[in-house]
Structure formats: structure tokens, C-alpha cells
Structure 1
């Protein structure tokens, strides 16, 4: 196994380990209060492993292969022992996997079992990304004293609920996740590619309630739930752990990405910790959900290991942000950082964008056709996201663009971004999608952040308030700031059929085109609001 150890060291860019001689105890049996047995693997140095600080990982994604190497072997070679548990109903653990519903009770029972084991020692650190981070929040208010730190990455305490906003149904991420959990792991590259193509085609299914069958050949309860129940539905009772966040009494280090699907909720959780006076820090890099670098591992080996040993972790600012455009890290005291004030950039006639008051002008118009929906290009997506060239997207007739003149100095934007778009549709149901872009000296337009809101009563002129993803970005001198306005980003968001019919119903097969209007005049001043350093 030593070649794997050396490979992991190179790939993760880590210092040499304390030892490469580790052992794995497979399929440890962990009884739950209802007599269901969950399985776990324990990684430890062959010599002296008992009593070392313990990393606890609870996962639905298995315990072997790359998961075992990165989460098990790497920490076990560097001062920890590790326990990786398969959650209920996954990879040999008993019971039925009912996503997120069993993690509170099973998580508390797991902690109780772990601290009673003779090899456990006096220190436990909770670690993991995405679902593996969510399970940490599920127990954060009832941690035993042995738990010394939490390191939740690319995650948040309510998880699915951000996708289910009544004013904007995210489709691609929860659908793909539900399908992946319903399908067996593909064997072979060709079968994997075929499975991927089938999932992508299934998103075009009408009615959308049949997309799970199109992708998997069977009904998938989780997918049916996301189509049927919005975030306020009682169906999701017990899955929201936001109220537990301020009660987390141990230090928490969160790692997120500017294009991660869970970023707004992760920032919300950090703010709740800071407001409660907890020891918390936040790191956000230029990552998507699928391409995080070695930062969480480094946090575990510095922040986590120090606390597990009763030491102070290395000093740093509470907030560390990768400022895109500048391509450099910056340290800040809080989120949002102090010193950044909102500056309105108004949409202007002729596709202009400026801080000046909007001029008298007629509205801009475009046709939105849900049979040829405006595509998602980059952005906050589980796969295929991040910074992408938007030049081709901006040539579509259903995408409006508004652009500043060439900047004569750098403009730094750090914080929460929003837009106010005066809008009217020929249909009572419509979406407004707004994207902030950076246009370089060659004319290449790259996405920075974006957001969508779904409107009812859209056939009446109204001001649509759009919450974009948070960001930290430096627009360089010689570049231009651009805003896109459209009515979709499919399949990241479900296409709006213009009918108001729930996508879960069997009759949701009709797609209606819509004539859209965007207003930008003194009485209806559409604008994007950017938190800028030094703005007045």
C-alpha cells in the first residue's frame, strides 16, 4: 500500500507522513438503539494507534477506494486514527437509506458508541464535506466532551432546502444526487458514460415527475419529494438543523467555494456561529463542489490536530477569502467584510451599465422559449460549474447584456450581491436570472456570480429582487463589468413553463413562450448592487 501513500502525498501536496505503516479494521459493527447495525472501518498506525485523536467520518458514499485513502489513510499516517462509518442503508450498513432523516438519531448514537471504545482516547474531530458535513450539524448541539472540533466543508445545516425555494426550484443538483443514490455504481467507462447521458436526457422529460423513471427505470422517492414539496413543507421536518448551529460549543472551521452549490447556507451558518460568540473561521476558495483542493486536509492536520491535542491552532484571521480576478488570498475579520459599501450600477439604454442615474428609455425585450431554454453555463453547479467563457451564451437572443465602459482603475467587489430588475412578462409566471460577468481586454466574458427568482403575477410590472451568489472579485483596470439578464439557466434551475402548473403533476406537459420586458428608466431603475471597497 505504500505506493498509494506516496501518490496521495503528491496529489494532495502534503509533507511526508509520520508513518506509512497503517492497518485497517474492516466492518466494525455498531449497534443503533433500534438494533440496526451500521458498519465502519478503523484506520490507525500499526504501532501506537490506540488512544490517538480520532477523526470521525459518517458517509453514504462508501469506505474504500479513494474515500478510504483520503479520509482514512492520509490522517492515520499523520497523527490520527480514523473511523469511517457507512450511514444507515448504505454500503453494508443495515436499515434503509432515507436521505437526511436518520442522521440526528444515528449520529448521536454513533458518538455515544465511539467514546466508549477502549481505543478511542480523549479527543474526537468531526470531518467531512457535503453530506459528510451535514451530518456534523445534525448533532452539533449535543456533542460529548471528547469532541474538540468540527470541520464541515462544502455543506450547510439545511442542505436540500436551498434547492426548494418557492421562488426558484433548483433542479440539476438534487435530481442528479437522487438518481446517483438510486443507481448502482457503474462498472466500466462506457456504462458510466451511458448512465450520464441517460441522466442528462431525463431532465428534458415532460412531465418532470417522470424524469426519475426515465433516468433509473424506477420511482425515486427523494426526487418525487423535491418536485412536490417546497422548503416550507412539513415533509422536510427534522432535516433543518439551522437552529443547532449557534449551540455548537466546539471550534468550527468551514471550507467553501465561490461556485459551490451550498455556499449561501455555509456563510449563514458561519454568521450564526460568530453572532453566538463561538470560535469559528471560514475559508472560501475559487472552487466548485467537485473540485476542492487539499485545503480541508490541511485544516484537519493543523486546526483539527492542534485542538485534539489541547493546543492552540495556528493564528489566522476568522475569514480567509480567495479574491478572484486578483487571484490571491485575503484575510478579513467577518462576513460580510467591513469597508465594502453597496454601489448601484444601473442598466442603461443601448446595453450600457453605469453608476449614473438611468436615462429615459424604452424597455428591452426578448422572447423566452421553454422548449429551447436558456442554458446554464458554469456557475454554482455540482459538475461543470465554475468560471466559464460566456461569449457564446451572450449571443443568444434570449440573453440581454449591459456593460460598463473600460475601467480606468481596479474595482474590488466583496460581499453579498443583489439585483433589482423592473420586469414584465406576457405570462403570469416567469423567471428572472441575473449574472455578473468580467469582460477582459479581448472581449471574453467570464461569469462571476448569479442568481434566479421565480415570479407569480409576472404579467404585472414589478421590481424583481434577485439574490446572487456571494463573491470576492477584483475587476482589473482595462476590463469591463457586465450584467446578463435572462429567464433561465437550464438544467441548473427547472425551466419555467409559463403555466404555473406544478412540475410534479401529470398534466405539466405544456410549455408556453413568453415575451419579456426589462425596464431601465428614472421611474423604474433596474440595477445590480455591488459591495465595493471605498464606495459611497
Structure 2
């Protein structure tokens, strides 16, 4: 008699007895006991049917659970609460099943990445490995920049489609903004939930809690003591790539020997290599950018589960521009600083200017400098005057940058507080502008005089000969970021705004400059 491949809609008690829905995909009984791959998701376990079949065919059990209060699970979902306790309760139940060999692998991306780490922290003796893909570890860490500025568009989209409900509302964001493209222009930001067309009581609390609000996920010290091997997967165009790299460097770091770890970062957005195509925006990355993540995960797990998950470290990183993969024991590789100085005439050069100067622009919150999607050609923004740009001569030789660039910004404002948005771009020989890295600074939070040292996002990129480097300074990135109002009012509760005059200074010594971690990769793998 054949055995069904999945036991659907099982009920497993959470930490307080609340019934939570689970699907269990099992390989044939003659293969038992087997390790179990575990996903806990707020986005509907039925979306993992094909995934469950894949794990089953490869000799693993696959267990996927709707988190508390979502889809078929009882209770009320409060994001980032109850996940540690409910994850521990599921682990304890799994370890008692006749098909379990006692080895658990926590697996997930985005919010399910958080639940994977939360379960691993609660049951470190049972969780042998974590497969973490762009983990969203807390509202304060996902909905705000490292500078503390609210990621307005992301917050609106996620809350519209995901939060304050038992099920997701797929496609609602595109539907709403197609009809009302200027919705995010409304002030105050705190009241936007009343205008988005959905009942969203949790919208404002995230803003009140702010970027420093603590979630129940593992603290950094706890992460460093986790004994599980870990596979960290991310995308250069995903806003959560910072979390991927921090977890790669932190997880298990306090243990000797350290658990096995691996890093894979490709030219992908939040959907990673599961999204179709090889292009992000206007930038093409070639067929090498599409890899079989499922086969990679299975191969890695087979190795670390067999060897006990100790000792190895490997990184596989796609270098934008070469469209090739680089491999090594860790990332970033050794690098030396290549400093490019801003000059009064708008040039960016390896040598500092002989004389100082100032470049000015006006910042008008009523007409903020606009955002662009990742990978999109930014050259159409050249006509805007609310930015200062410094551009190099065409490069004679290609340069490879791996790590985090830094912008030292010497700038002042007429406003009580302002934002500085700094962006490093490649200007191609045919005139397209491609952002390579960016960052933001809120002077209202830093409250320190300049010059400001602003660390940009991580990159692995080769800029070819013939292209030029560009450093751009603006004061908004709207609607990606909630705009500064140019007044003493808080950006999320205020309604009054004022035009500010912004000044960027160039100097022979310690002036505005771009510091690039330049490396010489050995010949990368194809």
C-alpha cells in the first residue's frame, strides 16, 4: 500500500498549549529515522508543498508550521513574539516522533529566517544546522536604516500585504499604489495607515518603538555561542544583506572549534535565485548568476551533518561587473584603501585638491530627491539640482572593490537637522548610472559635528576600464526613506517643513572623500 507523501494539517501545541498547524512531508518508512528540516512561517505553509517534496525525495523529513495566529494556526499573531517558545515546543514534539533521528535543521528566509534562529537558540543541542536566507530579525532592524531613518516604502508595503491579519493580502500594494501613486506624500507619516485602505492598528507602534526596539530573537552574544553549523544566503540587491553578513561573522564565533559555516551571496533581490531571469533593473548579470540553491543546500547539509558540523568555513560571492563567482575561506578578502577625493570643480580624483571649495544645493521636502529601484539606470536624475556630484575621469584599468566603502562627508545645513544620503555609482562608458552602494545619515540622531564618516552597504564589484566613479550627495531618497522635514519637528509626526540650504565642502586635507576597499581577487571561479 502506498503511503501519502504529506501529513497535512496536523496540530501541535505551542508553548502555552495553543494548537498550531503543521504539514509533515516524510520519505518512505523504510528510510526512517531521518533528519528533519523545519520551517516556521507567517506566510502560509501551503506555499511550501513543492519544497517539501524536494526535501522528501532527498531523504529528509520536511516540517512546515504556520506561526501562531496565521492561516490555520490558532491564537493571535504579534510579529516577533512567541516564536522562541513555539519553536521550542515544536522541536520537543518532533524529537519524540518515530521517524526522527534527533537531528533538526532550521530553515527559512525573511521572517522565517528569524524563526529559524529563534528555534536554534532555544534548542541548541537538537539543532545541528541552520539554513538562513536573508533573515528579517526584528521590525526595528528591517523597517529602519542603520542610520535610524524609517524605510517608509518597505514599511508601507509589508504592513499592507502581511501584517495585522490572519492571512497575507498578496498584490494589495501594487493595486493600491497604481490607483493612488502619491499616497506616501501625506504628512504626518504616523497617520498614513488611515489612508492606505486597510485596517492597520500596528503600523504606528512600529514607528513609536523605533529602530532600537528589541525583539525576542537571539542577542549577538547568544548567536556567537550557538553550536549549529550555518549556511548564510543573501543577495546584493536585498536590503537584508547586512543581516546575512553579520550572522556569517557572528554565529558560533565564541566556540572553539567553531561550527562549520558557509556564505553565498549572489546578484539577487529578496527572492534570491528563486526569482526568474538574470537581470536586476537595467543591469544584466549573465547566466552564471542563476544557481541551483536547492542542490547547494542539500550538498552542504549532507557534508555538515556527516562531519558533525565543525571547522570548515567557505564563502562563494558573485562579483558584479565580472559576472563571476569568487570563492575563498571567508569574506571580505584582504583589501587596501583606495581614496578618491572630491574637488571643487566636481571631479573625483585619487589626489586631494590643492584648494578648498564649497558646493551648494537646496533641499525642499515638498519635492524630495526621488528613489529608484535597485539596478535601474539613474542617469535620468542628472537634471535635478538638489544633489552634488563628484565624478572621476574614465578609469584606465579595472578596479575590484570588496567590502564596505566609506564616505567621509564634510557638510553643513541651514536646517536644525537634516539627512545626508551618499551614493557611490558607476557611470558606464555609454552613459548609464548604476548605484553600487549607498547609505544615509540623520544629523538629528547623531548630534555630532562633521565631518561624518558614513559606512556604505557591502559590495563585491569590478568597475571596468572606461567607466567612471561617481560620488553623489543628496538629502532625501523618497519614498524609500521617510524624508526629513527641514525643521525641528519629528519626521513621522510633524507636518510643517522648510527648505534648507545644504553645503558640501572640499578641502586639501580631510575633505569630502570616498574610501574604497580595493582588492586583488585571485582568478575567480566560473
Paired residue secondary structure (1:477) = coil
Q: 1:462 to 1:192 in 2, by over 3 A?
A: closer
Determine the structure 1 residue equivalent to 2:279.
none
Alignment of 1:285-296 (within 5 A): 285-293=266-274, 295-296=292-293
Q: 1:155 to 1:244 in 2, by over 3 A?
A: same
- CA shift, 1:73, in A, is 2.0
Q: Deviations over 1:353-403 (max 9, x none)?
A: 01101232431111111111111113xxxxxx3x22110123211122211
Determine the structure 2 residue equivalent to 1:15.
none
- CA shift, 1:232, in A, is 2.9
Alignment of 1:54-453 (within 5 A): 54-65=36-47, 67-69=48-50, 71-143=51-123, 145-155=125-135, 157-158=137-138, 160-161=140-141, 163-164=143-144, 165=146, 167-181=148-162, 182=164, 185-186=168-169, 193-197=174-178, 201-221=182-202, 223-233=203-213, 236=214, 238-239=216-217, 241-273=219-251, 275-276=253-254, 277-293=258-274, 295-308=292-305, 310-311=306-307, 318-338=314-334, 340-378=335-373, 385=374, 387-453=375-441
- CA shift, 1:446, in A, is 0.9
Determine the structure 1 residue equivalent to 2:19.
37
Q: Deviations over 1:409-436 (max 9, x none)?
A: 1111001111111111110111111111
Bigger mean CA deviation after superposition, 196-205 or 466-475: 196-205
Q: 1:429 to 1:118 in 2, by over 3 A?
A: same
Scaled by the length of structure 2, what TM-score is found? 0.87
User: Could you tell me whether the CA contact under 8 Å between 1:157 and 1:245 is conserved in 2?
Assistant: no
- State the alpha-carbon separation in 2 of the partners of residues 460 and 366 from structure 1: 22
- CA shift, 1:130, in A, is 0.9
Q: 1:26 to 1:312 in 2, by over 3 A?
A: same
- State the alpha-carbon separation in 2 of the partners of residues 457 and 157 from structure 1: 23
1:511 maps onto 2:506 in alignment: no
Unaligned segments of structure 1, at least 5 residues: 1-19, 379-384
User: Could you tell me whether the CA contact under 8 Å between 1:125 and 1:150 is conserved in 2?
Assistant: yes
User: Could you tell me whether the CA contact under 8 Å between 1:158 and 1:241 is conserved in 2?
Assistant: no
Scaled by the length of structure 1, what TM-score is found? 0.86
Unaligned segments of structure 2, at least 5 residues: 275-290, 522-526
User: Could you tell me whether the CA contact under 8 Å between 1:427 and 1:459 is conserved in 2?
Assistant: no
- State the alpha-carbon separation in 2 of the partners of residues 241 and 202 from structure 1: 37
- CA shift, 1:237, in A, is 5.0
- CA shift, 1:285, in A, is 0.9
Paired residue secondary structure (1:169) = coil
- CA shift, 1:162, in A, is 5.2
Q: 1:477 to 1:365 in 2, by over 3 A?
A: same
Paired residue secondary structure (2:298) = helix
Q: 1:185 to 1:92 in 2, by over 3 A?
A: same
> How many corresponding residue pairs?
498
- State the alpha-carbon separation in 1 of the partners of residues 403 and 445 from structure 2: 31
Determine the structure 2 residue equivalent to 1:11.
none
- State the alpha-carbon separation in 1 of the partners of residues 309 and 446 from structure 2: 52
Determine the structure 2 residue equivalent to 1:8.
none
Q: 1:36 to 1:269 in 2, by over 3 A?
A: same
- State the alpha-carbon separation in 2 of the partners of residues 345 and 39 from structure 1: 56
Bigger mean CA deviation after superposition, 261-270 or 313-322: 313-322
Paired residue secondary structure (1:469) = coil
- State the alpha-carbon separation in 2 of the partners of residues 433 and 458 from structure 1: 14
- State the alpha-carbon separation in 2 of the partners of residues 460 and 41 from structure 1: 53
- State the alpha-carbon separation in 2 of the partners of residues 476 and 196 from structure 1: 38
Q: C-alpha root-mean-square deviation of aligned residues, in Å?
A: 2.8
- State the alpha-carbon separation in 2 of the partners of residues 488 and 357 from structure 1: 27
- CA shift, 1:217, in A, is 3.6
Runs (4+) of structure 1 exceeding 6 A deviation are 312-316, 457-461
